Chain A
Amino acid sequence: MTTTERDVSRASGEGSSGHVPGGRDIWFFVLFESLVFTSYFCVYLFNRTQHEQAFLLGQSHLLLWLGVLETIVLLSSSWAVARCVQHARAGRFERARREAFLTAGFGLVFLILKIVEWVRLIHMGDTFTSSQFFQYYFFLTAIHCVHLLVGFVVLGVLVYQLSGEKRRSQVTVETCATYWHSVDFFWVLIFALLYVVR
Protein backbone atom coordinates (compact mmCIF):
# COMPACT_ATOMS: atom_id res chain seq x y z
CA MET A 1 0.00 0.00 0.00
CA THR A 2 1.33 3.42 -0.81
CA THR A 3 1.51 6.05 1.88
CA THR A 4 -1.48 7.84 0.40
CA GLU A 5 -3.76 4.82 0.47
CA ARG A 6 -2.69 3.90 3.96
CA ASP A 7 -3.35 7.40 5.22
CA VAL A 8 -6.79 7.54 3.62
CA SER A 9 -7.84 4.18 5.00
CA ARG A 10 -6.60 5.14 8.41
CA ALA A 11 -8.55 8.38 8.28
CA SER A 12 -11.71 6.54 7.36
CA GLY A 13 -11.18 4.17 10.26
CA GLU A 14 -11.72 1.14 8.14
CA GLY A 15 -10.30 -2.01 9.50
CA SER A 16 -8.45 -0.31 12.32
CA SER A 17 -9.27 -0.60 15.96
CA GLY A 18 -10.12 2.47 18.00
CA HIS A 19 -12.42 3.92 15.37
CA VAL A 20 -13.52 7.39 16.33
CA PRO A 21 -16.69 8.80 14.73
CA GLY A 22 -15.72 11.09 11.90
CA GLY A 23 -12.04 10.28 12.16
CA ARG A 24 -9.42 11.50 14.59
CA ASP A 25 -8.76 14.75 12.76
CA ILE A 26 -12.03 16.49 13.58
CA TRP A 27 -11.57 15.56 17.23
CA PHE A 28 -8.14 17.17 17.12
CA PHE A 29 -9.90 20.31 15.91
CA VAL A 30 -12.52 20.14 18.64
CA LEU A 31 -9.84 19.61 21.26
CA PHE A 32 -7.76 22.50 19.97
CA GLU A 33 -10.71 24.89 19.81
CA SER A 34 -11.75 23.78 23.28
CA LEU A 35 -8.33 24.75 24.55
CA VAL A 36 -8.60 28.13 22.87
CA PHE A 37 -12.08 28.71 24.25
CA THR A 38 -10.97 27.55 27.69
CA SER A 39 -8.22 30.14 27.62
CA TYR A 40 -10.79 32.80 26.72
CA PHE A 41 -13.00 31.61 29.59
CA CYS A 42 -10.10 31.74 32.03
CA VAL A 43 -9.35 35.31 31.01
CA TYR A 44 -13.04 36.17 31.45
CA LEU A 45 -13.27 34.54 34.87
CA PHE A 46 -10.08 36.17 36.07
CA ASN A 47 -11.28 39.59 34.99
CA ARG A 48 -14.64 38.89 36.55
CA THR A 49 -13.08 38.37 39.96
CA GLN A 50 -11.37 41.73 39.56
CA HIS A 51 -14.58 43.62 38.79
CA GLU A 52 -17.32 41.49 40.26
CA GLN A 53 -19.88 44.22 40.82
CA ALA A 54 -19.56 45.69 37.36
CA PHE A 55 -19.88 42.24 35.78
CA LEU A 56 -22.94 41.39 37.88
CA LEU A 57 -24.55 44.62 36.76
CA GLY A 58 -23.86 43.78 33.14
CA GLN A 59 -25.17 40.25 33.55
CA SER A 60 -28.40 41.59 34.98
CA HIS A 61 -29.13 43.19 31.62
CA LEU A 62 -29.22 39.77 29.99
CA LEU A 63 -32.49 37.90 29.67
CA LEU A 64 -31.95 34.48 31.22
CA TRP A 65 -35.04 33.01 29.60
CA LEU A 66 -33.78 34.05 26.17
CA GLY A 67 -30.49 32.33 26.87
CA VAL A 68 -32.34 29.20 27.95
CA LEU A 69 -34.46 29.31 24.80
CA GLU A 70 -31.37 29.62 22.62
CA THR A 71 -29.78 26.71 24.42
CA ILE A 72 -32.85 24.54 23.87
CA VAL A 73 -32.89 25.48 20.17
CA LEU A 74 -29.24 24.53 19.72
CA LEU A 75 -29.63 21.31 21.70
CA SER A 76 -32.55 20.44 19.42
CA SER A 77 -30.33 21.05 16.43
CA SER A 78 -27.75 18.65 17.86
CA TRP A 79 -30.45 16.07 18.41
CA ALA A 80 -31.51 16.52 14.78
CA VAL A 81 -28.01 16.04 13.44
CA ALA A 82 -27.55 12.96 15.62
CA ARG A 83 -30.69 11.46 14.11
CA CYS A 84 -29.32 12.38 10.73
CA VAL A 85 -26.20 10.32 11.39
CA GLN A 86 -28.36 7.40 12.59
CA HIS A 87 -30.47 7.47 9.43
CA ALA A 88 -27.42 7.73 7.22
CA ARG A 89 -25.80 4.78 8.92
CA ALA A 90 -28.93 2.74 8.31
CA GLY A 91 -29.03 3.80 4.67
CA ARG A 92 -32.13 5.98 5.02
CA PHE A 93 -30.59 8.88 3.14
CA GLU A 94 -33.78 10.77 2.37
CA ARG A 95 -34.69 10.99 6.05
CA ALA A 96 -31.10 11.83 6.90
CA ARG A 97 -31.25 14.76 4.52
CA ARG A 98 -34.44 16.01 6.12
CA GLU A 99 -32.83 15.86 9.52
CA ALA A 100 -29.88 17.82 8.17
CA PHE A 101 -32.21 20.54 6.92
CA LEU A 102 -33.95 20.50 10.29
CA THR A 103 -30.58 21.02 11.96
CA ALA A 104 -29.91 24.00 9.74
CA GLY A 105 -33.39 25.30 10.53
CA PHE A 106 -32.75 25.17 14.25
CA GLY A 107 -29.40 26.83 13.68
CA LEU A 108 -31.09 29.62 11.78
CA VAL A 109 -33.60 30.12 14.61
CA PHE A 110 -30.69 30.39 17.03
CA LEU A 111 -29.00 32.96 14.82
CA ILE A 112 -32.17 35.05 14.60
CA LEU A 113 -32.65 34.91 18.37
CA LYS A 114 -29.05 35.99 18.84
CA ILE A 115 -29.44 38.94 16.51
CA VAL A 116 -32.65 39.98 18.23
CA GLU A 117 -30.83 39.79 21.55
CA TRP A 118 -27.91 41.86 20.31
CA VAL A 119 -30.16 44.52 18.82
CA ARG A 120 -32.07 44.76 22.08
CA LEU A 121 -28.88 45.18 24.09
CA ILE A 122 -27.49 47.77 21.72
CA HIS A 123 -30.71 49.75 21.96
CA MET A 124 -30.36 49.61 25.72
CA GLY A 125 -26.92 51.14 25.38
CA ASP A 126 -24.91 48.00 26.04
CA THR A 127 -22.43 47.74 23.20
CA PHE A 128 -19.04 46.15 22.57
CA THR A 129 -17.30 49.21 23.93
CA SER A 130 -19.67 50.28 26.70
CA SER A 131 -18.40 48.11 29.53
CA GLN A 132 -15.94 45.34 30.33
CA PHE A 133 -18.64 42.71 30.75
CA PHE A 134 -20.13 43.49 27.37
CA GLN A 135 -16.73 43.41 25.72
CA TYR A 136 -16.57 39.75 26.74
CA TYR A 137 -20.24 39.13 26.04
CA PHE A 138 -20.18 40.40 22.48
CA PHE A 139 -16.79 38.85 21.80
CA LEU A 140 -17.73 35.37 23.01
CA THR A 141 -21.15 35.34 21.39
CA ALA A 142 -19.76 36.76 18.15
CA ILE A 143 -16.89 34.30 17.88
CA HIS A 144 -19.40 31.55 18.63
CA CYS A 145 -21.61 32.86 15.83
CA VAL A 146 -18.66 32.72 13.46
CA HIS A 147 -18.34 29.04 14.39
CA LEU A 148 -22.07 28.71 13.77
CA LEU A 149 -21.81 30.29 10.34
CA VAL A 150 -18.99 27.90 9.47
CA GLY A 151 -21.36 25.23 10.78
CA PHE A 152 -23.88 26.16 8.10
CA VAL A 153 -21.21 25.58 5.47
CA VAL A 154 -20.45 22.23 7.10
CA LEU A 155 -24.15 21.32 7.01
CA GLY A 156 -24.09 22.24 3.35
CA VAL A 157 -21.29 19.74 2.85
CA LEU A 158 -23.35 17.21 4.80
CA VAL A 159 -26.41 17.67 2.60
CA TYR A 160 -24.20 17.50 -0.49
CA GLN A 161 -22.72 14.25 0.75
CA LEU A 162 -26.14 12.76 1.39
CA SER A 163 -27.55 13.86 -1.95
CA GLY A 164 -25.31 12.02 -4.35
CA GLU A 165 -25.26 8.25 -4.74
CA LYS A 166 -21.52 8.00 -5.16
CA ARG A 167 -20.60 10.77 -2.79
CA ARG A 168 -21.90 9.29 0.38
CA SER A 169 -19.27 8.68 2.97
CA GLN A 170 -20.33 7.82 6.47
CA VAL A 171 -17.07 9.23 7.77
CA THR A 172 -17.74 12.66 6.30
CA VAL A 173 -21.30 12.60 7.64
CA GLU A 174 -19.96 11.87 11.11
CA THR A 175 -17.25 14.53 10.76
CA CYS A 176 -19.83 17.18 9.89
CA ALA A 177 -22.04 16.07 12.76
CA THR A 178 -19.11 16.21 15.16
CA TYR A 179 -18.39 19.77 14.10
CA TRP A 180 -22.00 20.76 14.67
CA HIS A 181 -21.97 19.13 18.09
CA SER A 182 -18.90 21.17 18.97
CA VAL A 183 -20.77 24.37 18.07
CA ASP A 184 -23.51 23.31 20.44
CA PHE A 185 -20.98 22.34 23.10
CA PHE A 186 -19.24 25.71 22.99
CA TRP A 187 -22.59 27.49 23.27
CA VAL A 188 -23.54 25.55 26.38
CA LEU A 189 -20.26 26.62 27.99
CA ILE A 190 -20.75 30.24 26.98
CA PHE A 191 -24.32 30.16 28.20
CA ALA A 192 -23.28 28.75 31.55
CA LEU A 193 -20.51 31.29 31.94
CA LEU A 194 -22.27 34.44 30.82
CA TYR A 195 -25.88 33.86 31.76
CA VAL A 196 -25.88 31.49 34.68
CA VAL A 197 -22.77 31.97 36.76
CA ARG A 198 -23.48 34.87 39.02
Chain B
Amino acid sequence: MRRTTGELIIFWALPGVAIIWIAAFFLFPGFLPPMSPQWSAQKVAAFYVNHTSRVRYSMILFNWFCVALIPILMLIVERMRGMAHRTPILRYCVIGVAGAAPIAFLTATIFWLLAAFRPDRPPALTQLYNDLAWITFSCGVPFLVALCLFLAVAIYLDEQARPVFARWVGHFNLLIAIALVPAGFAGLTLTGPFAWNGFLSFWVKNVAIALWLVVMALVLGETIGRDRLAEQASA
Protein backbone atom coordinates (compact mmCIF):
# COMPACT_ATOMS: atom_id res chain seq x y z
CA MET B 1 0.00 0.00 0.00
CA ARG B 2 1.29 3.44 -0.91
CA ARG B 3 2.74 5.46 1.90
CA THR B 4 0.96 8.77 2.43
CA THR B 5 2.81 9.99 5.49
CA GLY B 6 3.70 13.64 5.25
CA GLU B 7 1.57 14.34 2.20
CA LEU B 8 -0.86 16.40 4.19
CA ILE B 9 1.97 18.63 5.35
CA ILE B 10 3.01 19.35 1.78
CA PHE B 11 -0.60 19.82 0.80
CA TRP B 12 -1.39 22.30 3.54
CA ALA B 13 1.77 24.18 2.72
CA LEU B 14 0.11 25.12 -0.56
CA PRO B 15 -2.26 27.76 0.84
CA GLY B 16 0.65 29.24 2.77
CA VAL B 17 2.86 29.33 -0.29
CA ALA B 18 -0.01 30.66 -2.39
CA ILE B 19 -0.43 33.55 -0.01
CA ILE B 20 3.26 34.35 -0.42
CA TRP B 21 2.96 34.13 -4.20
CA ILE B 22 -0.07 36.42 -4.20
CA ALA B 23 1.60 38.85 -1.83
CA ALA B 24 4.68 38.96 -4.06
CA PHE B 25 2.46 39.39 -7.10
CA PHE B 26 0.80 42.46 -5.56
CA LEU B 27 4.08 43.74 -4.16
CA PHE B 28 5.79 43.79 -7.53
CA PRO B 29 4.95 47.21 -8.91
CA GLY B 30 5.09 46.02 -12.48
CA PHE B 31 2.12 43.66 -12.47
CA LEU B 32 -0.79 45.86 -11.53
CA PRO B 33 -1.09 47.38 -14.00
CA PRO B 34 1.39 45.40 -16.07
CA MET B 35 4.31 47.38 -17.50
CA SER B 36 4.00 48.19 -21.15
CA PRO B 37 6.53 46.89 -23.69
CA GLN B 38 6.21 50.22 -25.44
CA TRP B 39 7.91 52.21 -22.71
CA SER B 40 11.07 53.96 -23.72
CA ALA B 41 14.32 52.93 -22.10
CA GLN B 42 14.22 56.09 -20.01
CA LYS B 43 10.80 55.29 -18.68
CA VAL B 44 11.84 51.75 -17.82
CA ALA B 45 14.97 53.02 -16.05
CA ALA B 46 12.88 55.55 -14.14
CA PHE B 47 10.52 52.76 -13.07
CA TYR B 48 13.36 50.80 -11.54
CA VAL B 49 14.75 53.90 -9.84
CA ASN B 50 11.36 54.76 -8.33
CA HIS B 51 10.35 51.28 -7.29
CA THR B 52 13.67 49.65 -6.48
CA SER B 53 12.73 48.24 -3.10
CA ARG B 54 9.39 46.80 -4.13
CA VAL B 55 10.93 45.08 -7.15
CA ARG B 56 13.73 43.61 -5.06
CA TYR B 57 11.62 42.29 -2.20
CA SER B 58 8.84 40.88 -4.32
CA MET B 59 11.29 39.11 -6.61
CA ILE B 60 13.30 37.76 -3.70
CA LEU B 61 10.06 36.28 -2.37
CA PHE B 62 9.31 34.72 -5.74
CA ASN B 63 12.87 33.51 -6.01
CA TRP B 64 12.56 31.73 -2.65
CA PHE B 65 9.18 30.21 -3.13
CA CYS B 66 8.48 29.62 -6.79
CA VAL B 67 10.02 26.17 -6.68
CA ALA B 68 7.63 25.29 -3.84
CA LEU B 69 5.34 24.31 -6.68
CA ILE B 70 7.42 21.19 -7.23
CA PRO B 71 6.44 19.22 -4.10
CA ILE B 72 2.82 19.93 -4.88
CA LEU B 73 3.24 18.65 -8.40
CA MET B 74 4.84 15.56 -6.89
CA LEU B 75 1.68 15.02 -4.82
CA ILE B 76 -0.21 14.89 -8.08
CA VAL B 77 2.36 12.44 -9.45
CA GLU B 78 1.79 10.21 -6.44
CA ARG B 79 -1.96 10.25 -7.09
CA MET B 80 -1.22 9.24 -10.65
CA ARG B 81 0.09 5.95 -9.33
CA GLY B 82 -3.50 5.04 -8.67
CA MET B 83 -4.49 5.50 -12.27
CA ALA B 84 -5.24 2.53 -14.49
CA HIS B 85 -2.10 2.92 -16.55
CA ARG B 86 0.12 0.06 -17.55
CA THR B 87 3.34 2.10 -17.44
CA PRO B 88 4.74 5.02 -15.46
CA ILE B 89 5.30 6.97 -18.68
CA LEU B 90 2.83 9.75 -17.97
CA ARG B 91 4.18 10.19 -14.45
CA TYR B 92 7.65 10.57 -15.92
CA CYS B 93 6.34 13.13 -18.39
CA VAL B 94 4.87 15.16 -15.53
CA ILE B 95 8.08 14.91 -13.50
CA GLY B 96 10.00 15.95 -16.60
CA VAL B 97 8.15 19.25 -16.95
CA ALA B 98 7.74 19.80 -13.22
CA GLY B 99 11.45 20.42 -12.95
CA ALA B 100 11.73 22.90 -15.77
CA ALA B 101 8.57 24.96 -15.13
CA PRO B 102 9.64 26.76 -11.95
CA ILE B 103 13.18 27.19 -13.30
CA ALA B 104 11.78 29.14 -16.22
CA PHE B 105 10.02 31.43 -13.79
CA LEU B 106 13.13 31.62 -11.60
CA THR B 107 15.13 32.89 -14.56
CA ALA B 108 12.62 35.70 -15.02
CA THR B 109 13.00 36.75 -11.38
CA ILE B 110 16.77 36.82 -11.82
CA PHE B 111 16.44 39.27 -14.71
CA TRP B 112 14.06 41.52 -12.76
CA LEU B 113 16.42 41.46 -9.79
CA LEU B 114 19.35 42.33 -12.04
CA ALA B 115 17.46 45.29 -13.45
CA ALA B 116 16.81 46.57 -9.96
CA PHE B 117 20.31 45.89 -8.67
CA ARG B 118 21.96 48.91 -10.28
CA PRO B 119 19.15 51.28 -11.21
CA ASP B 120 21.67 53.91 -12.28
CA ARG B 121 22.85 51.72 -15.17
CA PRO B 122 22.55 53.00 -18.74
CA PRO B 123 18.81 52.86 -19.49
CA ALA B 124 19.37 50.66 -22.54
CA LEU B 125 20.79 47.92 -20.30
CA THR B 126 17.99 48.20 -17.76
CA GLN B 127 15.52 47.94 -20.61
CA LEU B 128 17.35 44.81 -21.82
CA TYR B 129 17.01 43.08 -18.45
CA ASN B 130 13.41 44.17 -18.23
CA ASP B 131 12.72 42.74 -21.68
CA LEU B 132 14.46 39.47 -20.85
CA ALA B 133 12.44 39.18 -17.64
CA TRP B 134 9.10 39.88 -19.25
CA ILE B 135 9.64 37.63 -22.26
CA THR B 136 10.79 34.78 -20.03
CA PHE B 137 7.80 35.32 -17.74
CA SER B 138 5.18 35.68 -20.45
CA CYS B 139 6.43 33.33 -23.11
CA GLY B 140 7.90 30.75 -20.77
CA VAL B 141 4.76 28.64 -20.80
CA PRO B 142 5.83 25.46 -22.64
CA PHE B 143 6.24 23.41 -19.49
CA LEU B 144 2.91 24.48 -18.04
CA VAL B 145 1.11 23.78 -21.31
CA ALA B 146 2.73 20.36 -21.49
CA LEU B 147 1.91 19.69 -17.84
CA CYS B 148 -1.79 20.33 -18.44
CA LEU B 149 -1.74 18.22 -21.60
CA PHE B 150 -0.03 15.30 -19.84
CA LEU B 151 -2.48 15.47 -16.95
CA ALA B 152 -5.43 15.62 -19.32
CA VAL B 153 -4.18 12.58 -21.25
CA ALA B 154 -3.45 10.73 -18.02
CA ILE B 155 -6.97 11.40 -16.77
CA TYR B 156 -8.59 10.36 -20.05
CA LEU B 157 -6.61 7.13 -20.10
CA ASP B 158 -7.54 6.40 -16.47
CA GLU B 159 -10.42 4.11 -17.36
CA GLN B 160 -11.65 2.45 -14.25
CA ALA B 161 -14.82 2.36 -12.18
CA ARG B 162 -13.54 5.02 -9.78
CA PRO B 163 -10.91 7.09 -11.57
CA VAL B 164 -8.43 9.04 -9.49
CA PHE B 165 -9.57 12.34 -10.95
CA ALA B 166 -12.99 12.91 -12.48
CA ARG B 167 -13.15 13.35 -16.22
CA TRP B 168 -14.04 17.02 -15.97
CA VAL B 169 -10.61 17.63 -14.43
CA GLY B 170 -9.16 16.38 -17.70
CA HIS B 171 -11.34 18.79 -19.69
CA PHE B 172 -10.33 21.55 -17.28
CA ASN B 173 -6.63 20.89 -17.81
CA LEU B 174 -7.15 20.96 -21.56
CA LEU B 175 -8.88 24.32 -21.29
CA ILE B 176 -6.08 25.74 -19.17
CA ALA B 177 -3.52 24.51 -21.69
CA ILE B 178 -5.42 26.35 -24.43
CA ALA B 179 -5.67 29.46 -22.23
CA LEU B 180 -1.89 29.50 -21.84
CA VAL B 181 -1.17 29.27 -25.55
CA PRO B 182 -1.66 32.96 -26.51
CA ALA B 183 1.04 34.01 -24.04
CA GLY B 184 3.59 32.16 -26.17
CA PHE B 185 3.05 34.80 -28.82
CA ALA B 186 3.83 37.69 -26.47
CA GLY B 187 6.99 38.52 -28.38
CA LEU B 188 5.21 39.22 -31.60
CA THR B 189 3.74 42.56 -30.77
CA LEU B 190 4.24 45.55 -28.52
CA THR B 191 0.54 46.42 -28.36
CA GLY B 192 -2.77 44.70 -28.22
CA PRO B 193 -4.06 41.62 -26.44
CA PHE B 194 -1.03 39.50 -27.28
CA ALA B 195 1.58 41.92 -25.94
CA TRP B 196 3.07 40.94 -22.64
CA ASN B 197 0.79 43.39 -20.85
CA GLY B 198 -2.19 42.53 -23.00
CA PHE B 199 -5.41 40.80 -22.09
CA LEU B 200 -4.45 37.38 -23.44
CA SER B 201 -0.78 37.19 -22.56
CA PHE B 202 -1.06 38.68 -19.11
CA TRP B 203 -4.57 38.47 -17.69
CA VAL B 204 -5.80 35.27 -19.26
CA LYS B 205 -2.50 33.48 -18.65
CA ASN B 206 -2.09 34.45 -15.01
CA VAL B 207 -5.74 33.98 -14.13
CA ALA B 208 -5.55 30.55 -15.80
CA ILE B 209 -2.53 29.60 -13.71
CA ALA B 210 -4.24 30.81 -10.52
CA LEU B 211 -7.40 28.93 -11.42
CA TRP B 212 -5.40 25.78 -12.15
CA LEU B 213 -3.76 25.99 -8.73
CA VAL B 214 -7.07 26.45 -6.94
CA VAL B 215 -8.96 23.72 -8.77
CA MET B 216 -6.12 21.20 -8.69
CA ALA B 217 -5.61 21.90 -4.99
CA LEU B 218 -9.26 21.16 -4.24
CA VAL B 219 -9.30 18.05 -6.37
CA LEU B 220 -5.97 16.92 -4.95
CA GLY B 221 -7.16 17.43 -1.39
CA GLU B 222 -10.18 15.26 -2.01
CA THR B 223 -8.05 12.52 -3.56
CA ILE B 224 -5.45 12.57 -0.82
CA GLY B 225 -8.25 12.23 1.71
CA ARG B 226 -9.54 9.16 -0.13
CA ASP B 227 -6.10 7.58 -0.28
CA ARG B 228 -5.50 8.14 3.40
CA LEU B 229 -8.80 6.52 4.28
CA ALA B 230 -7.88 3.55 2.13
CA GLU B 231 -4.49 3.31 3.81
CA GLN B 232 -6.00 3.45 7.26
CA ALA B 233 -8.65 0.92 6.33
CA SER B 234 -6.09 -1.59 5.13
CA ALA B 235 -3.76 -1.01 8.09
Direct A–B contact in complex, judged by CB atoms less than 8 Å apart: no
Could you tell me which B residues sit within 8 Å of A by CB distance?
Answer: none
Could you tell me which A residues sit within 8 Å of B by CB distance?
Answer: none
